[in-house]
Amino acid sequence: MTDIEPRTDGGLEWTYAPAPESRAIVSFEERYGLYVGGETVEPRSGEWFTSASPATEEPLAEVAQAGPEDVDLAVGAARAGYETWSGLRPSERAKYLFRIARILQERARELAVAESLDGGKPIKESRDVDLPLAAAHFFYHAGWADKLEYAFPNRRPRPLGVAAQIIPWNFPLLMLAWKVAPALACGNSVVLKPAETTPLTALLFADVCRQAELPPGAVNIITGDGSTGAELVRHTGIDKVAFTGSTEVGKAIQRELAGRGVPHTLELGGKAANIVFEDCALDQAIEGIVNGIYFNQGHVCCAGSRLLVQESILEPLLGKLRGRLSTLRLGDPLDKNTDIGAINSRAQLDRITELVESGQAEGAELYQPACELPERGYWFPPTVFTNVAQSFRIAQEEIFGPVLSVMTFRTPAEAVDKANNTAYGLSAGVWTEKGSRILWMAARLRAGVVWANTFNRFDPASPFGGYKESGFGREGGRHGLEAYLGFEG
Ligand code: ADP
């Protein structure tokens, strides 16, 4: 439906009428305890914190802040859970995973609304990306559960034990699925800690586990801030750590685990190059650029935050990009027409603002479309920087917000040099009509994923992970299973 509104110059303009998704489908409890051994328990710490909506600053629920004693209980419950879970026939484990996948599908709308409320992402993304992919991860890994011998012939795979899993706030339920599904499929039990700004869908997932009648202790969910995560990593009862988050915390975790012989996988930051050649299909590339950096407000570790454009098409590309930006709708995450939702937290908004200011101070040219920001909540308009030198902070540091830095190149070799001139190596994009050039580029880009004529595409069968400071280990596909298994012989 559309409305016609008078323009200030007296003309008429078509605009979208509000199309809010109903939030009635979600009822949060006032308080959530910890999910330990199949039960909800009060935190021994006696401490709680509030999870709020970043779009309105409205408090949504109180959540437990797990302390050392709580972490210990959860690891103990996961040890007991491991005995049961790893003793089940693999085909039995598969049934539970299929059940969880189906419940996620059945409750998809509720979970999508909860995700948008707690994290600020547009409902069309949580509905069309986060939830379908989370369910797909459980379906995919359900399929593997009784076929591990075939995935690793002659290597006799066995589970590792208790997996400690720490996830970030940008794709709360999807990151949970990336972690929990392969761990369970391989016969491990789990202690999962969601991020402190987005714990609610993980707590709803505890209810999904209950509904699926998952054996107690196979999945345990403890909430809290970084200190809870650090306590979990320090615990001597864990057999594996899987972490997704900032490079800084990843390094701290690695330091803590040094010498302990606990296998770990780290999926950290990124500063991906999205490389556009003059022979590309320009309109498609514009969509890929927009999707690459403005999807999920740029809170994406593999976001295409450095746009490398072949010099000959810089001006036409920028013209089209500016035009496209003016059509993006920023606002209420629960409105089905919203393209750009809220920034996840005040702290993240401050970080983005500081880096954008540094870009201006270093001499880059800023472009933002006319865009009204809501009064309450945390918001940042879609932003493009031109005149960017490779040495600028906005070209080097991960901003994790809707901010694009544009640079140019002349030859494919120069594009590769510039793309690889980063401490990170998570992803890259190449836009060209020439197949041989895609292969030539992909072979030289130091990035775990290289997308060709697309961006931000995910599939549970496709391994995802980084080079250099983007971390190590892969999630998804056969490679992802390997991270949750030990091998005899
Ligand atoms: P960001 O900087 O983007 O918020 P973080 O890396 O700080 O990302 O957070 C990712 C996850 O790591 C969150 O669940 C957070 O609570 C957790 N975390 C933060 N500090 C630590 C730490 N020292 N040890 C373990 N986990 C931590």
Please write the tens of the pLDDT for every residue from 173-210. 999 999 999 999 999 999 999 999 999 999 999 999 99
The single-letter DSSP state of residue 262 is: -
Question: Distance between CA 428 and CA 306 in Å, rounded?
Answer: 9
Q: Which CATH superfamily does the domain covering 273-462 fall into?
A: Aldehyde Dehydrogenase; Chain A, domain 2 (3.40.309.10)
Work out the burial of residue 89: count CB atoms within 10 Å of its CB; fewer than 13 is exposed, 13-18 middle, 19 or more buried.
exposed
CB atoms within 10 A of CB 335: 20
- pTM for this structure? 0.96
- β-strand 383-386 against 365-367: which pairing, if any? antiparallel
Let me know if 368 is exposed, middle or buried by CB neighbors in 10 A (0-12, 13-18, 19+). Answer: middle
Q: What is the token pair recorded at 82?
A: 């491991």
Alpha carbons 317 and 275: distance in angstroms, whole number? 12
Give rounded-to-5 percent helix, strand, coil for the chain. Answer: 40, 20, 40
Which has the closest alpha carbon to 201: 334, 39, 59, 60? 60
The ranges assigned to domains in the chain are: 23-268+470-488, 273-462
Q: Is 352 in the pocket of ligand 1 (CB under 6 A)?
A: no
Tokens of 234: 């320090």
Report the chain's terminal Cα–Cα distance, integer Å.
Answer: 64
* Enzyme catalytic residues: 267, 301
Mean pLDDT, range 140-153, rounded to an integer = 96
Answer whether 249 contacts ligand 1 (Cβ < 6 A).
yes
103, β-bridge pairs: none
Ligand 1 contact via 253 beta carbon (within 6 Å): yes
Cα 191 to middle of ligand 1, angstroms: 15
How far, in Å, from the CA of 184 to the mean position of ligand 1? 23
Residue among 85, 42, 249 nearest 166 (CA): 249
Instruction: Please give the torsion angle defined by the CA atoms of residues 271, 52, 190 and 174, in that order, rounded to the nearest 10 degrees.
Output: -50
| Separation of CA 377 and ligand 1 centre (Å) | 22
- Protein residue whose Cα sits closest to atom 21 of ligand 1: 226
315 near 280, Cβ under 8 Å? no
pLDDT at 279 over 90: yes
Q: Could you tell me if 470 and 252 are in contact, meaning their C-beta atoms sit under 8 angstroms apart?
A: no
Q: Indicate left, alpha or beta for 197 from its phi (over 0: left) and psi (-120 to 50: alpha).
A: alpha
Q: What pLDDT was estimated at residue 16? A: 86
Q: Is the CB of 229 under 6 A from ligand 1?
A: yes
Write the CA distances from 276 to 293, 310, 376, 387, 420, integer angstroms. Answer: 14, 6, 37, 17, 15
DSSP label of 454: -
Cβ of 196 closer than 6 Å to ligand 1, yes or no, is: yes
Angle at 420 between CA 284 and CA 170, to 5 degrees: 65
Can you read off the two tokens belonging to residue 189? 């039990």
For residues 455-471, give the mean pLDDT: 96
CB-ligand 1 contact for 183 (6 Å cutoff):
no
Q: Which two tokens stand for residue 363?
A: 């001499």
Q: How confident is the model at residue 1 (pLDDT cuts 50, 70, 90)?
A: very low
Q: Which residue has the tokens 């690793």?
A: 152
CA 299 to ligand 1 center in whole angstroms: 15
Is 227's C-beta closer than 6 angstroms to any atom of ligand 1? no
Q: Which residues contact 311 (CB under 8 A, 6 or more apart)?
A: 408, 409, 410
Query: Counting atoms of ligand 1 from 1, which one is nearest the CA of 244?
Result: 10
The tens digit of pLDDT for each residue in 360-393 reads 999 999 999 999 999 999 999 999 999 999 999 9
What number is the average pLDDT over the span 230-236? 98
pLDDT of residue 142: 98
Q: Which atom of ligand 1 is nearest to the CA of 166?
A: 14
Question: CA–CA separation, 166 vs 262, rounded Å?
Answer: 15
Q: Which atom of ligand 1 is nearest to the CA of 253?
A: 24
pLDDT at position 488 is 81
Q: Which superfamily does 23-268+470-488 belong to?
A: Aldehyde Dehydrogenase; Chain A, domain 1 (3.40.605.10)
Cα 57 to Cα 35: distance, rounded to the nearest angstrom: 26
pLDDT tens readout for residues 59-89:
999 999 999 999 999 999 999 999 999 999 9
Ligand 1 centroid–CA 8 distance in Å is: 46
Coil, strand or helix: which one is 264?
A: strand
Contact indicator for 282, 320 with CB cutoff of 8 Å: yes
Q: Above pLDDT 70, what percent of the chain? A: 97
Q: Show the tokens assigned to 1.
A: 């439906």
Confidence (pLDDT) at 9: 62
Alpha carbons 421 and 269: distance in angstroms, whole number: 15
The answer to whether residue 4 scores a pLDDT higher than 60 is no
Euclidean distance between CA atoms 127 and 134, whole angstroms: 11
Residue nearest to atom 3 of ligand 1 (CA): 246
Residue 213 pLDDT greater than 80, yes or no: yes
Q: What is the mean pLDDT of the chain?
A: 96
Which tokens is 403 given?
A: 């901010």
Residue 248 CA to ligand 1 center (angstroms) comes to 9
Indicate whether 2 pLDDT > 90: no
